[in-house]
Structure 1
Amino acid sequence: MFLLVSNSSARTIAVLDRAADIDAAAKAIVTARFSFNGTSPYSPDLVIVNEFIKNEFTEACSRYAGKLFRKNSVRPQNNDCIKTARALREAEEKGQISMFGSGSFKIVDVLDRSDLLALYTFSDAATAKFLSQHFNALTSYANHIPSHLLVGPAAPVSPLAPPVRHKYSIEMFSSPRPQYTTSACAKDDVALVDSILAGFYEPARQQTALQKLDATMGGKQGRVLQPKKIQPMGDQLGFFEQGILLGLGSVLAFAVSTVGISIWAWKRML
């Protein structure tokens, strides 16, 4: 029996490659980020975009975000830099990052290597597979963000794999309790073991039962497997042997032809 604990503090990251469907990716990310006022643990906390599609992706995000919010409900934020600096300072105090540099130029070294809650990759199949293998995420999704993830808490950290369309499975709320109605051992073996236990205070009786058990187990020992015959070596030449013989043949042919031409020229001179 184990407790179902959700890691709600883990981060969620989306990665966009240059081969991604920009319009579909922007729609999925904006919807996931701003649904339920951004309180879902599976809403993307960080979006990593390829430089070649950054402008197109930004325009697509602005277009879809404008459909979710009214113009008069959006207020310009002039303190983004202050919020970013405060967030970096808090992360450094918690030991999650290490910062170098001064002024507006900062190099951030991420020290927190804990698992991500989810990874969303938008790219072709090969790139999505590669990114999913190199990001330590509890779950990964390629070219989509499931809507059911945005509802409710984070999926529990469990050795049991959750179902595809849900966060919980019946096995997570069950514990195995086997019930045996018949003995798993043979009756003769059980009788021998019972006789050994019954003669615990009678050494002679116990010794006799042990001898019977030893004889019984010795008769049930499996036969010794005979070693397999070694297959004869094939008469075909390998790759390296062929190369060596080809090189020796070329050298020998060159040497024979050179000697032959030299003898012929020497006879002509006589």
Structure 2
Amino acid sequence: MSSSPAPASFPRIAISNLEGRAQPTHYRQLQLHRLQTELTKSQIEIKASIRESAGHTLLEADFEYALVLFELREHYESLDPKNELATTRQIELGNDNLDRSNSTSIVYVVPITHTLLYSVLSPVCTAIAAGSCVIVELPQTLRSLTSTLRKLLCCSLDPDTCAISESRPAGDFLQQCTLVLQSWPESHPETREACVSPSSLRAVAVVDRTAHVDEAARDIVSARFSRRGSSPYAPDTVLVNEFVLESFLACLLQHMSPYMAHENGSVGDSFKQKERRPFAESQRIFDTAEKSAGMRVVIRGSNGSIISVQDRDADLLNKKISGPVLIVHPISSLDDGVDFANQSADRTLAASFIFAALPEANYLANYIHAHISCVNHIPAELLVGPIAPLHHAPSLSPRYSRSVFQEPRPQLLNKTVLTGLVETARNDSSDTRFAHWKKSLEVPLPPMNRKKGRDVDFFFQALLTGFTLVAVPVLVGLGITVRYALPYIRTRL
């Protein structure tokens, strides 16, 4: 892989893209082989850079590194040279080739800083597996992880098909590319295609009164406060049924103790002291909470804070949170939670995390508008990397599927049955097969298989309800009267 301070050095990439150099299956396998070898050889340096640059724990760095290797292996094992060769010969063999696809174009990756190793290598591995040339935008910074990544990519990948850019190329070059934009909205020039991750979309967790409160608190604390609260999938607001609010807050405080220990310096000593200061945004949130009568700071620390918001009109409830701050808000019912989660009608949530018994969870998952819904757990792999790209099915891992960087190019050889009917009718007006086929389509559709029931309109239902409310007390009173009055009457007689 080449490193370029200026896009002028990308003619090698453009030529390789035109020649299809990155498309042969054996070449793609070789690139993934070389990348995996360099990753395993540099794993100590990579994980040390993650901890130093991002302040992640050893487990968090290990998991990010392992997730990259997992996706790389998944892509490698999906490549089958024999099967792909057979696919290219389908027409020669007299068959339709409906599954044929081609790589789209040059893939230009603009990563987010959150879990940078994964955010870079996940789309890179997918682009390699799809047969695309790839360019990664990695400006020179003081972060050791950036330098480690640049060295890793330059040492392992072919400079004719992979490159690093330190600045954004001109618009005419980007028009040839599929732009992988992991932080959006962001101003960018027009491109041939864009694979956009909507990083501004919010994630909401809902804790119903039927949930296992302690497990919900444990998962939500881990999602919000791990990796210093930087994951775009970390829940921005937690909607808690008011009947379990206090017990939920108590469980949150209990599960936050490891993060408070980290703040006191018992763990994570490799993270620089200057990075332990609260984020500027977190400070603004605290200033707002302290001045508002409808907010209460439950606990405050640089590595984990909880704010309980009672005022439903507070702007904080609709804000995308970046940092180790958890916003909790009470709800009165399932419908109240659905209405609040969907209050921005024009914006679907990035994710909803639902903690409830299965019937209630099913209701919430069906009616809360979210790109992905997780019930009674928050997947660990979802918290690594960017939000899944729009207009593609969300995937936990790999975050990017090969189809994102490929275009369907089906090849049809054999005439369809309908084509034969039309041609026959055109050449022979006496042939009746087309007319019979058309007549068969005019047959009424099969009846709907619905259970029979009585139609009860609103007013009749109200009448039945009123009658029940009046008749039941009268019948009960009559029964009691008969029960006790009848023996008395008999004794008098």
Q: Paired residue for 1:52? A: 243
Written as runs of structure 1 = structure 2, the 5 A alignment for 1:207-246 is: 213=427, 215=429, 220-222=434-436, 224=439
Aligned residue among 248, 255, 267 for 1:64? 255
Specify which of 388, 391, 399 is matched with residue 167 of structure 1.
Answer: 399
Return the TM-score normalized by structure 2. 0.34
Distance 1:85 1:11, change over 3 A: farther
Q: Structure 2 residue aligned with 1:82, among 287, 296, 299? A: 287
CA contact (8 A) 2:381 2:396 kept: no
Contact 2:371 2:394 in 1 (8 A): no
The Cα of 1:162 is off from its aligned counterpart by 3.5
Q: Does 1:178 align with 2:410?
A: yes
Query: What is the Cα deviation at residue 212 of structure 1?
Result: 6.2
Q: 1:112 aligns to what? A: 344
Q: SS of 1:171's equivalent?
A: helix
2:364 is matched with 131
Q: Taking structure 1 as reference, are residues 84 and 217 closer, same or farther at Cα in structure 2, changes over 3 Å only?
A: farther
- Do 2:348 and 2:369's aligned partners in 1 also have CA atoms closer than 8 Å? yes
Q: Which amino acid aligns with 1:177?
A: R
Which of 356, 376, 385 lines up with 1:143 in the alignment? Answer: 376
Q: Does 1:12 align with 2:203?
A: yes
Distance 1:218 1:51, change over 3 A: same
Deviation string 1:7-56 (CA, Å, 9 cap, x unpaired) is 11000011101111112111110110011111100001001111222222
**Between the two proteins, what is the percent identity of the paired residues?**
33
Structure 2 segments unaligned to the other structure (5+ residues) = 1-103, 105-192, 266-275, 293-309, 319-342, 445-452, 456-493
- Check conservation: 1:148, 1:166, Cα contact below 8 A: no
Which residue is 2:354 aligned to? 121
- Distance in structure 1 (CA, Å) of the matches to 2:229 and 2:384: 11
The equivalences for 1:250-265 within 5 A come to none
The answer on whether the counterparts of 2:203 and 2:233 sit within 8 Å (CA) in structure 1 is yes
Q: Distance in 2 between matches of 1:141 and 1:156?
A: 18
- AA in 2 matched with 1:142: V
Provide the TM-score with structure 1 as the length reference.
0.58
- 1:72-127 deviation digits (Å, cap 9, x = unpaired): 3699999866334899xxxxxxxxxxxxxxxxx96618763311100001110011
1:69 counterpart SS class: helix
Distance 1:155 1:79 in 2: 29
Q: Unaligned stretches of 5+ in structure 1? A: 88-104, 193-210, 229-237, 241-270
Cα shift readout 1:213-267 (whole Å, capped 9, x = no counterpart): 3627766322645979xxxxxxxxx999xxxxxxxxxxxxxxxxxxxxxxxxxxx
Task: Please give the secondary structure, in 2, of the residue aligned with 1:215.
Answer: coil
CA positional deviation for 1:129: 1.0
* Structure 1 counterpart of 2:264, one-letter code: N
Which residue of structure 2 lines up, in the alignment, with residue 37 of structure 1? 228
Distance in 2 between residues matched to 1:217 and 1:86, nearest whole Å = 84
Q: CA RMSD in A?
A: 4.0
Which AA in structure 1 matches 2:407? S
Q: Is the 8 A contact 1:21 1:123 kept in 2?
A: yes
